[in-house]
Chains A and B, each alone.
Chain A
């Protein structure tokens, strides 16, 4: 419980209507997409950086944990108020401050929904590429804090490749600016890069300067069915090895195909044991040639069938196949553990084979799909939690998958972050000295450990 005295202070800072200790509000800001729940003591909706600065200064003085939050759609618990305190909801800061067509930059507040920015810049012939699956509801602040990815990252890179500068309220309540709006800049440490993906542990982002690109003139979508998983994963290596970087290179395994078969008009024959959705974009003459080369490269790898979308409608029906994956997985088992490992692209065939072996040995269905083009696979361990022993089995599978990933030179999270769900596994990937280095940074910047405590590292 939080003292009334403190609530009065918060009311003075943000206004009475922008803070609540009501059960309804505490419940509705207790969760994210991990489905875990931790109620904050109070929910605060600040309106600007100055208010956030005052709140953090107060939190330091009073020793109250503060949990910054955007849409609450993270998969690893980055915004969960695991030690109570304040849920700091940043969605009132939702202005697109400017779109600079001469310099190809945009300046936004953290509460802007990613898709809103994309629509706004595309109306001007510009392009903001990062496209996490949650883009229609997740916020840019959350995308930056977690360094979100998405299918287009094969060609265009992830969120950190687009963040030029930030305005940040430090854990102690100072308001600082990092980076800027120039394409180059090497004065001092690159704090922007440090803050992107820091999961809200090192500062509260209040402004973001983003790099934009010109909108590609055209795109071409292809769906290729393979008779084996190996064929599909080798196709990924063949395309990249053939010096072509498609916009997207999405992969689905046989179980995934079985799940989505009924959700699409496209015919997905039983013989198809894996699918690649390949999209190229750019000048129309160039992409025609690229598409042709890609189909030639994959042809010897057991192709069952190929669709090349003739127009945007056909392209849409191909993407519909991909989008129907996540909801349809429940057909396998009611509960899933969703991991997002990433391996060097050439190691993908080996990684998939290893996961299949783990699945067979532990008798637990594992469904694989995702961004094969950058080696980032969504590994879904499907269980029924009501059956005794299944959860333990899933944990065993996760551990083995992480170990195999690391052995192949990969990482246990490509784009979801560590938060609380992956924190126990950190020592598998990072050596103790590296963890100590990170913790030293956290301690120096947040000596009272009030900003998003309990995340990334098991003990702060």
Chain B
């Protein structure tokens, strides 16, 4: 059955592709190029390949797929491009083009099959958890939950978080009332927080409760669609978008809150092309950190008592927040927390190297980029590196583990939630 893809085609980007003047400025900024050094992976190279694909000058062969898969979607090249060529969007469109002509990769097929079926995911999460207890070696470090995960597509060396005993959405009712006359916000939980990092969701609920906001957690919500898009599967991403549009239209929330930088980009940047309804929904999407700052949480945090001992915390800025101009809110929340000491880190804006499906296909390069971050965390003197994206957290923790460092990666919301919980 032919499935419908609502996204722009590669041909829709022809004008933007033509705006690349091959100046080479992207060579100074692409993290993947920095590691691999070949023109085929740098932004202007990928734009050239996309252009050739569009003009039928190159076959969509495995090498082309491989080269186009080497993009973290970090957007650094776009920000530094003199002509602001949207290389990240062009790469995704080229991946969709190749998938449409040649079919998805085996990995892409498995991934999207999973993402399209939340119940299957729930089931797998449960069995993975049971299997984990029997099979997987635990990493002998403070986070005993962390595993070496020998799933077929994941590098055996990567350390991964455990699946949650009970997913975040199952733990909570669909509606949690706040104070009357306060806005209603809908929580977009995202897959990683729902299944792997429910404690981030708990932190969010603590903070939203402290502000008296009414919260709805739509049961029928699904994946934001970014992993499917990253794998070149526009049809699945379109189906997921339609599902989320239905789930979040029901109660007419004032705002839709994302807890994950990547989900934020999935529901904003990648929603806008899909049609007026989607665009309208995207307009109501707000990152949790930005929401908390705009609702005045900083003041509440400031007023909390200061403990005798505070951990040293540094911040990593997720690319997907930075690209939306949202660098500041997570830092503002941390700066307002009396329970931590905020310290600076070098390369705080450098990509962690996860890049969604990038790290699955290119774990070695991903690891090298992660190692740069691990060193920066170490040199900052911090005990914890806080960020606002569970993907970054997974990658940062893996990088710290690989480097044999004791530091831990966490979400800003975990620290906020802990501080608020203590006060209660």
Contacts and interface: CB of A to CB of B under 8 A. Distances in A.
Contacts of B49: 24, 27-28
A326 interface: yes
Contact of A92 (B21, B37, B59, B82): B37
Given A91-B37, A136-B28, A327-B82, A27 B21 contact: no
B25 A137 contact: yes
B22 interface: yes
A194 interface: no
B28 A73 contact: no
A23 B22 contact: no
A35 B21 contact: yes
B332 interface: no
A28 B37 CA distance: 12
Contacts of A134: 23-25
A72 B22 CA distance: 9
Interface in A59-113: 71-73, 89, 91-92, 113
Nearest to B37: A91
Nearest to B52: A27
B23 A27 contact: no
Interface string A1-34: 0000000000000000000001111011111111
Nearest to B46: A28
A25 to B, nearest CB: 6
Contacts of B84: 327
B85 to A, nearest CB: 11
A138 B58 contact: no
Contact of B24 (A25, A72, A89): A72
A22 B37 CA distance: 17
A148 B122 CA distance: 60
A19 to B, nearest CB: 12
A327 B83 contact: yes
Contacts of B59: 23
Interface in B15-66: 21-28, 37-40, 44-45, 48-49, 52, 57-59, 61, 63-64
Contacts of B26: 137
A52 to B, nearest CB: 17
B67 interface: yes
Contacts of A73: 23-24, 27
A115 B58 contact: no
Contacts of A137: 24-28
Contacts of A31: 22, 44, 48
A71 B24 contact: yes
A29 B26 CA distance: 15
Contacts of B28: 113, 115, 136-137
Q: Max chain B CB contacts within 10 Å: which of A31, A91, A138?
A: A31
A330 interface: yes
Interface-central residue, A32, A113, A136, A138, by most chain B CB under 10 Å: A136
Contacts of A22: 63
Given A22-B63, A327-B82, A327-B83, A27 B24 contact: no
A73 B44 CA distance: 11
A38 to B, nearest CB: 13
Nearest to B23: A33
A326 B82 contact: yes
Nearest to A326: B82
Chain A interface mostly helix, strand, loop or mixed?
loop
Interface in A108-165: 113, 115, 134, 136-138
A31 B49 CA distance: 12
B39 A29 contact: yes
A28 B24 contact: no
B57 to A, nearest CB: 7
Which of A28, A33, A73, A115 has its CB near the most chain B CB atoms (within 10 A)? A28
Contacts of A24: 40, 49, 58, 63-64, 67
Nearest to B57: A27
A36 to B, nearest CB: 9
Nearest to A336: B21
Contacts of A29: 39
B204 to A, nearest CB: 36
A73 to B, nearest CB: 4
Given A115-B28, A137-B27, A72 B39 contact: yes
Contacts of B45: 27-28
Nearest to B68: A24
Contacts of B23: 33, 73, 134
B19 to A, nearest CB: 8
A72 B40 CA distance: 13
Contact of A330 (B52, B57, B83): B83
Interface in B323-380: none
B58 A28 contact: no
Contact of A27 (B27, B37, B48, B61): B48
Interface string B73-103: 0000000001110000000000000000000
Contacts of B21: 33, 35
B322 to A, nearest CB: 19
Nearest to B45: A28
A72 B83 CA distance: 18
Nearest to A92: B37
Contacts of B52: 23, 27
Contacts of B25: 134, 136-137
Given A24-B64, A25-B39, 7 more contacts: A24-B40, A27-B49, A32-B24, A33-B21, A134-B25, A137-B24, A137-B25
Shortest 3 CB-CB distances between A and B: which pairs?
A327-B82, A73-B24, A136-B28
Interface of B: 21-28, 37-40, 44-45, 48-49, 52, 57-59, 61, 63-64, 67, 82-84
Interface of A: 22-25, 27-35, 71-73, 89, 91-92, 113, 115, 134, 136-138, 326-327, 330
20 contacts: A23-B52, A25-B39, A27-B45, A27-B48, A27-B49, A27-B52, A28-B45, A31-B22, A32-B22, A33-B22, A35-B21, A71-B24, A71-B27, A73-B23, A91-B37, A115-B28, A136-B25, A136-B28, A138-B24, A327-B84
